[in-house]
């Protein structure tokens, strides 16, 4: 998943991961002592017109019998049409391959989530759970040493579904480097972790019904022929698309061999795709029949939100005198123009400090800004999100137009996981339609991101915390969506495409 944040990686490189132990840097010292800000109870931040429906003012009793009869017919017809529309939207066209219809409604809206009591919503006694109708073997794969910001949400999603046997394929180096193996308590939770570079898929002694490829092309190269064996035995593969524009088989040769390998399995209905944001989902549906040279094939990718439950610290260290915003990502001038950013920031005389969290060569700053701009490096996976959760805002500074068209940005996921709102434009919200306006600091048409930050600095700590609470609510909504989609997907596989059935290739 391409990104502007660390430790989240961009495509097939490790450019956006946390700093190596050789990196140096430390957080800036706050000019005033931090204070403890109590977390307010959740309140509905939406306007009344979004949550209230006015009652009908005309009493039915004044209508005549014929009018009542006609009204009854109209109501029945309207309800029936709505039911048909809902059924069509949920299940898709009946003639579609069911496995190409993994797309589901976005789940409960933010408004619906806000109607639940905080006691019921936050308690661990009522976890979000799913159920597989069949005892399936699920292989979750991430073979490079990056994209763990996607791999961890996948693991957490499938761990919430019972009646499945999960095997993780990763690398010992990657799991140990980012502190994931111990933090996730893999052995205690009964999950099997295998080094994908050592153990082939077809030599585990387990015949998988479902294989999820986090870093799809790289995973295909590492798994090699063993992936072909699993597919021949009836397995279904879900392939995450990070940069959809690079899958144009006619113009880009980067994934030519991988596309040639997967195309027959796409035609057989055993190879499927997943998108990490709404705009990439739309892009795949519009372009993949041409990109993969499969005319007439309809693509309905799984929409998977790369978010997981992260418990932010209760006593956040921002206060009315020294709050800070975060620019995440590797410190590269090719990624963003730091000189311009720092110059504009200095001219604004903004009340909110800046912290740059990432890795690489630390940019130079003017001496007069040294007390307001700090750099934090050398964080492991969970330390990174812990630091991100302390901020008032995240400044994405997305580097190119692909982030609004065909490429997912992990900065978006970082915001939701950490519970820290992004500064986002209206165009950004349209592309990432899973994010409501209430969960971001909305950028005006003629505002820069730093000008928004200056405006946010005039708010008080309660307003900052309310916005962070809204982002946290969104996180739980998206987690529920992930589990619901994964549950449905597994049940489709278990019901109609179990290994050994003769109709595997008939779809």
pLDDT at 235: 93
pLDDT at 473: 94
Q: What is the pLDDT of residue 111?
A: 28
Question: 5-40 burial by CB neighbour count: b if 16+ within 10 A, else e?
Answer: bbbbbbbbebbbbbbeeebebeebebeeeeeebeee
Q: What is the pLDDT of residues 223-262, one digit of tens each?
A: 999 999 999 999 999 999 998 898 888 888 888 899 999 9
Residues 100-127 have a mean pLDDT of: 36
User: In this predicted model, what pLDDT tens digit does every residue of 420-430 receive, in sequence order?
Assistant: 999 999 988 88
Tell me what the pLDDT averaged over the chain comes to.
75
Q: Assess whether pLDDT exceeds 80 at residue 25.
A: no
The pLDDT tens digits of the residues spanning 367-398 come to 999 999 999 998 888 888 989 998 999 998 77
Distance of alpha carbon 340 from alpha carbon 354, whole angstroms: 14
What's the mean pLDDT in 81-93?
43
pTM confidence score: 0.72
* pLDDT value of position 116: 33
Asked if 416 and 397 count as a contact pair (C-beta separation under 8 A), the reply is: no
The pLDDT, as a whole number, for residue 478 is 95
Answer whether residue 336 shows pLDDT above 50.
yes
Query: Quick one: pLDDT band at residue 127, thresholds 50, 70, 90?
Result: confident
DSSP state of 407: B
Angle 148-159/410-418 helices, nearest 10 degrees? 50
Distance between CA atoms of residues 277 and 263, nearest Å: 23
Average pLDDT over residues 309-315: 64
434-479 per-position pLDDT tens digit: 899 999 999 998 999 999 999 999 998 899 999 999 999 999 999 9
* CA torsion, ordered 178, 184, 185, 191, to nearest 10 deg: -110
Residues 6+ apart with CB under 8 A from 314: 39
pLDDT at position 178: 67
Contact 2, 402 (CB under 8 A): yes
Helix (H, G, I), strand (E, B) or coil at 337: coil
Superfamily of domain 98-308+481-505: NAD(P)-binding Rossmann-like Domain (3.40.50.720)
Domain parsing of the chain, residue ranges: 98-308+481-505, 324-475
Q: What is the mean pLDDT of residues 65-86?
A: 64
Tell me what pLDDT residue 400 has. Answer: 67
Could you tell me which residues come within 8 angstroms of residue 186 by beta carbon, excluding any fewer than 6 positions away? 168, 193
Q: In the chain, how long is the greatest CA-to-CA distance?
A: 83
Q: What distance in Å separates the CA atoms of residue 79 and residue 83, rounded to the nearest whole number? A: 6
Q: What kind and span of H or E run contains 469?
A: helix 461-496
CATH class of 324-475: alpha beta
Distance CA(23)–CA(378), nearest Å, equals 6
- The three-class DSSP label of residue 420 is coil
Say how far apart CA 219 and CA 221 lie, in whole Å: 5
In the chain, the N- to C-terminal Cα span, in Å, equals 30
Inter-residue contact 324 to 395 (CB < 8 Å)? no
- 114 prior amide bond cis, ω within 30: no
Q: Give 154-173 pLDDT, tens digit per residue.
A: 999 999 999 999 999 987 77
Strand-pair partners of 354: 325, 373
Question: In CATH terms, are 98-308+481-505 and 324-475 the same topology?
Answer: yes
> Residue 496 pLDDT > 90, yes or no?
no
Structure tokens at 136: 């399936």
**Per-residue pLDDT, 239:** 96
Per-residue pLDDT, 313: 56
Query: Which residue, chain included where needed, has tokens 């978010």?
Result: 307
Report, in angstroms and rounded to the nearest whole number, the Rg of the chain calculated over CA atoms.
Answer: 24
- pLDDT at residue 103 in the model: 43
């Amino acid at each position: 998943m391409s990104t502007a944040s660390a430790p989240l990686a961009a495509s097939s490189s490790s450019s956006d991961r946390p700093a190596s132990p050789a990196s140096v840097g430390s957080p800036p010292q706050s000019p005033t002592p931090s204070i403890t800000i109590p977390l307010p109870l959740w309140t509905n931040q939406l306007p009344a017109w979004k949550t209230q429906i006015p009652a009908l003012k005309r009493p039915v009793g004044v209508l005549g019998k014929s009018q009542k009869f006609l009204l009854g017919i109209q109501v029945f017809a309207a309800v029936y049409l709505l039911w048909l529309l809902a059924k069509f939207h949920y299940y898709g066209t009946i003639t579609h391959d069911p496995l190409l219809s993994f797309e589901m409604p976005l789940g409960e809206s933010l408004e619906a989530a806000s109607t639940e009591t905080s006691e019921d919503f936050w308690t661990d006694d009522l976890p979000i759970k799913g159920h597989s109708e069949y005892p399936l073997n699920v292989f979750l794969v991430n073979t490079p040493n990056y994209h763990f910001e996607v791999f961890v949400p996948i693991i957490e999603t499938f761990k919430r579904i019972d009646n499945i046997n999960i095997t993780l394929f990763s690398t010992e180096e990657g799991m140990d480097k980012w502190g994931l193996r111990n933090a996730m308590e893999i052995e205690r939770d009964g999950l099997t972790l295998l080094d994908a570079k050592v153990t082939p898929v077809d030599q585990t002694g387990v015949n998988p019904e479902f294989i999820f490829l986090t870093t799809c092309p790289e995973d295909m190269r590492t798994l090699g022929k063993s992936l072909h064996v699993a597919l021949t035995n009836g397995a279904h593969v879900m392939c995450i698309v990070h940069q959809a524009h690079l899958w144009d088989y006619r113009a880009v040769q980067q994934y030519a061999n991988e596309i040639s390998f997967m195309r027959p399995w796409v035609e057989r209905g055993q190879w499927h795709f997943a998108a990490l944001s709404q705009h990439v989902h739309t892009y795949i549906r519009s372009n993949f029949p041409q990109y993969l040279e499969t005319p007439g094939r309809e693509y309905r990718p799984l929409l998977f939100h790369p978010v997981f439950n992260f418990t932010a610290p209760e006593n956040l260290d921002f206060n009315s005198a020294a709050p800070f915003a975060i620019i995440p990502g590797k410190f590269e001038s090719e990624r963003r123009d730091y000189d311009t950013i720092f110059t504009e920031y200095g001219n604004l005389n903004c009340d909110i400090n800046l912290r740059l969290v990432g890795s690489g060569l630390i940019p130079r700053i003017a001496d007069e800004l040294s007390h307001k701009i700090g750099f934090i490096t050398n964080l492991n996976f969970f330390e990174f999100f812990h630091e991100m959760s302390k901020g008032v805002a995240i400044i994405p500074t997305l580097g190119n137009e692909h982030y609004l068209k065909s490429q997912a940005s992990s900065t978006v996921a970082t915001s939701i996981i950490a519970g820290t709102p992004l500064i986002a434009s209206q165009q950004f919200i349209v592309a990432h339609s899973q994010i409501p306006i209430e969960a971001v600091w909305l950028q005006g048409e003629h505002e820069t991101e730093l000008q928004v930050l200056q405006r946010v600095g005039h708010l008080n700590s309660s307003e900052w915390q309310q916005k962070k609470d809204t982002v946290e609510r969104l996180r739980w909504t998206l987690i529920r969506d992930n589990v619901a989609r994964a549950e449905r997907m597994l049940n489709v596989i278990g019901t109609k495409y179990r290994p050994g059935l003769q109709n595997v290739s008939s779809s």
